[in-house]
Chain A
Amino acid sequence: MDRFVFLTIDGLSRGAVYAAFALALVLIWRAARVVNFAQGAMAVAAAYVAYTVSTTTGSYWLGFAVAIVAGLLLGALVDRVVMRHVDHASHLNPVIVALGLVLLIQAVLGMVYGNEFRPAEAPFSRSALTVGGVAVLSPYDLFVFATIGVVVSGLAWMFARTPVGLRMRAAAFAPEVSRLLGVNVGGMLTLGWALASGVGALAAMLVMPTELGLHPHAMDLVFVSAFTAAVVGGLDSPPGAVVGGLVVGLLLSYVSGYAGSDLTPLAVLVLLLAVLLVRPGGLFAPVAARRV
């Protein structure tokens, strides 16, 4: 029972990070109809910037802040310099360009920092506090939950209640009409990319200390898990992404706890296939009309 409680909490903590990462995917999908396969690599790049800042200044929190700023800037840069110029007529094109970005970013990181693992420090203790003899949350878990909670509710508030959020939704939903009504559609798209990339960078900062550490490929598997989370929830639904993230986190935690950590990639693949074959739109998407 103790083990089950521990695995559940560990899974929820991991799941919160997947949720944030999946949310970043959903943000770009809703704004630009692109699944950003380069999200993981972009987040790793931001984490490396944070690593440099943290090691030179000695301050974790300065690095943390810089990571998010770097993520925001990188997202805007990728949209302005690359994605904007891609022909979106075929859905293959943006995916292929994003994969090119993955190679480029990982190679540049490898050239600058080398391909070895670097330790990623956690700002709080990762050993669990015990309540009534049962190990439950670690301070770091609490930090993860709080940060993700703030970000998710902040984004929800922004989209639902602020003029910028309204414009972003309008630009994604009906670009031509929005343009006629004076919305800067291109600017909204860039903002969407920046926000998504910032959230991705934050998620990378949170997940790195619990994984092997900093490495150009550190986010490959995390990306697949987050993609699965986004698909479980339906790529169009931000609440779905959060629920999907928690589901995937729990699944991975139970599988690695009871069956061995080597099997977690396989579990992700099985879940992804199962969801796609049974309900391709995700669990939260409205049932779409059949085409033929």
Chain B
Amino acid sequence: MSATRAALPPKHRPADTGDRPVDRRLGSTLLRHLAVVLAVGLLLVAVSYAVEPFRNFQLATVAAYLCATAGLTVLTGLNGQLSLGHGALMATGAYTVALCQNAFADRGMTGGWLLPLSLGAAIVSTVAVGAVVGVAAARLRGPYLAGVTLAVAIVVPALAVTFDGVFNGEQGLSVPVEPPPLSLGPYFPYERWQLWLTGAATLLALLLLANLIRSRYGRSFRAVRDDEVAARLAGIHVARTQVLAFVVSAATAGLGGALLAVLAQSVSPGAFSLTLSLFLLMAVVIGGLGRLTGALWGAVLLVALPDLTHSVTELLTLSPAVAQRLEGNLPLAIFGLTLIVVMIAAPGGVQGLLSRLGRGLLARWSARRS
């Protein structure tokens, strides 16, 4: 046993995979990532035919959340900047999509290219907001940054209520979305179309993020996270790197929020409360900071946990009032508790546990062979 343990890498390695030497046999990083994305895309299409519509919708929601959690992983896990305001950035993207789609609908414009245009506008507007917050964030450290982004998370939903002429207050806006194109057939299920849409957008975002992480910029992100002074001595412009990380993660958060709005076909300030921002952070931490696969676990958790608690509360025979109280709050409690336990017991998160398990099995297997 001690021999296998010695074969394991040191325990206190920073929690990311980006530092691994690139495997040359598999060709360029871009090609490899493209292949993975294509494979996952094909798998998604196959799955979308195999499962019922509700599951399709759930998978689409996972994809939308994954967009946001992947961006937050880059920011917090790779660059070491803590943001509690990503819910607000998602709200920015969601409201932009709603305003664009409504404007198109009012002018009677139709066509398949409108939605990508709106999504692009959502990304542009969140990039602008992200750049403003990011410039401030690059000058702030630790708890100060957390405090400012916390304030952003509380202020942005309040803005929607203040300027209710544009954003329609607590009611929010509806997001008109066109039905699937007729070329797919008249009875094409709407949920499957939703999954295709969000899946495609998210896979594209993930492809860009994965390549960014493996690039020179990704290395500077990690260098700044690990030691700002050393990074500066190595010739990295620390503030510029931090702003870039913030802008990138803001763009994906905006896209995630926009996709969520398209899925729900509505947007309201209540959907983007402080709790959502906290949820995103929880998801990223529980999934495993610093790994995009960790962001996937987090996004799955965000969708599955409320569903799971719903089934549990249905199993127990409770009065409707009690059941309603439990249903809203039980996932929150579980999330909070999991977060505390994970931070204390397994800072690598789910993905860290899995890869440690995998590495252990691999080491045992190779030990048996030799």
Q: Which residues on A are within 8 Å of B, measured CB to CB?
A: 29, 34-35, 37, 82, 85-87, 90-93, 95-97, 99-108, 110-111, 114-115, 217, 220-221, 224, 227-228, 231, 235, 260, 262-263, 265-266, 268-269, 272-273, 276-277, 280, 291-292
Question: When chains A and B are docked, how far (Å) is the Cα of A289 from the Cα of B80?
Answer: 23
Q: Could you tell me the distance in whole angstroms from the C-beta of A222 to the nearest C-beta in chain B?
A: 11
Q: Is the CB of A100 within 8 A of B325?
A: no
- By a CB distance below 8 angstroms, the chain A residues around B275 are 103
Q: Is the CB of A110 within 8 A of B147?
A: no
Q: Is the CB of B150 within 8 A of A224?
A: yes
A-contact 0/1 string along B323-358, CB 8 Å cutoff: 001101111110111111001100100000000000
Q: Is the CB of A104 within 8 A of B336?
A: yes
A-contact 0/1 string along B143-166, CB 8 Å cutoff: 110111011101100110110000
- By a CB distance below 8 angstroms, the chain A residues around B285 are 96
B140 proximal to A (CB < 8 A): yes
Question: When chains A and B are docked, how far (Å) is the Cα of A108 from the Cα of B326?
Answer: 9
Of A92, A103, A227, A260, the residue contacting B333 (CB under 8 A) is A103
Q: Is the CB of B340 within 8 A of A277?
A: no
* Closest 10 A/B residue pairs (Cβ): A104-B336, A103-B336, A100-B339, A107-B332, A107-B333, A35-B143, A91-B142, A110-B329, A262-B162, A107-B329
With A111-B330, A262-B162, A266-B159: A92-B82 Cβ-Cβ less than 8 Å:
yes
Question: When chains A and B are docked, how far (Å) is the Cα of A292 from the Cα of B232?
Answer: 9
With A100-B336, A108-B333: A266-B150 Cβ-Cβ less than 8 Å:
no
With A265-B151, A265-B158, A292-B232: A104-B330 Cβ-Cβ less than 8 Å:
no
Q: Could you tell me the distance in whole angstroms from the C-beta of A87 to the nearest C-beta in chain B?
A: 7
Question: When chains A and B are docked, how far (Å) is the Cα of A96 from the Cα of B80?
Answer: 13
Q: Is the CB of B139 within 8 A of A231?
A: no
- By a CB distance below 8 angstroms, the chain B residues around A104 are 332-333, 336-337, 340
Q: Is the CB of B155 within 8 A of A265?
A: yes
Question: When chains A and B are docked, how far (Å) is the Cα of A280 from the Cα of B339?
Answer: 30
- B interface size (C-beta, 8 A): 48
A-B contacts at CB below 8 angstroms, number: 145
B76 proximal to A (CB < 8 A): yes
Q: Which residues on B are within 8 Å of A, measured CB to CB?
A: 76, 80, 82, 84, 136, 139-144, 146-148, 150-152, 154-155, 158-159, 161-162, 229, 232, 274-275, 278, 281-282, 285, 325-326, 328-333, 335-340, 343-344, 347
Q: Which one of A107, A111, A220, A276 has the highest number of Cβ atoms from chain B below 10 Å of its Cβ?
A: A107
Task: Name the residue of chain A whose CB is nearest to the CB of B333.
Answer: A107
Task: Name the residue of chain B whose CB is nearest to the CB of A217.
Answer: B274
Q: Could you tell me the distance in whole angstroms from the C-beta of B244 to the nearest C-beta in chain A?
A: 19
Q: Is the CB of A272 within 8 A of B147?
A: yes
Q: Could you tell me the distance in whole angstroms from the C-beta of A101 to the nearest C-beta in chain B?
A: 7
With A35-B146, A220-B274, A262-B162: A291-B281 Cβ-Cβ less than 8 Å:
no
Q: Could you tell me the distance in whole angstroms from the C-beta of A27 to the nearest C-beta in chain B?
A: 14
Question: When chains A and B are docked, how far (Å) is the Cα of A255 from the Cα of B162?
Answer: 14
With A104-B336, A269-B155, A280-B139: A96-B150 Cβ-Cβ less than 8 Å:
no
Q: Is the CB of B336 within 8 A of A107?
A: yes
Q: Could you tell me the distance in whole angstroms from the C-beta of B347 to the nearest C-beta in chain A?
A: 7
- By a CB distance below 8 angstroms, the chain B residues around A29 are 143
Q: Is the CB of B154 within 8 A of A221?
A: yes
Of B152, B162, B278, the residue contacting A103 (CB under 8 A) is B278
- By a CB distance below 8 angstroms, the chain B residues around A85 are 344
- By a CB distance below 8 angstroms, the chain A residues around B336 are 100-105, 107
With A35-B147, A95-B142, A106-B332: A100-B154 Cβ-Cβ less than 8 Å:
no
- By a CB distance below 8 angstroms, the chain A residues around B146 are 35, 37, 95
- By a CB distance below 8 angstroms, the chain B residues around A266 are 155, 158-159, 162
| 14 further contact pairs, Cβ within 8 A, besides A37-B146, A99-B84, A115-B329 | A29-B143, A34-B143, A35-B146, A82-B344, A91-B141, A95-B82, A99-B282, A101-B340, A103-B333, A107-B330, A111-B325, A235-B143, A272-B151, A276-B136
- By a CB distance below 8 angstroms, the chain B residues around A110 are 325, 328-329, 332
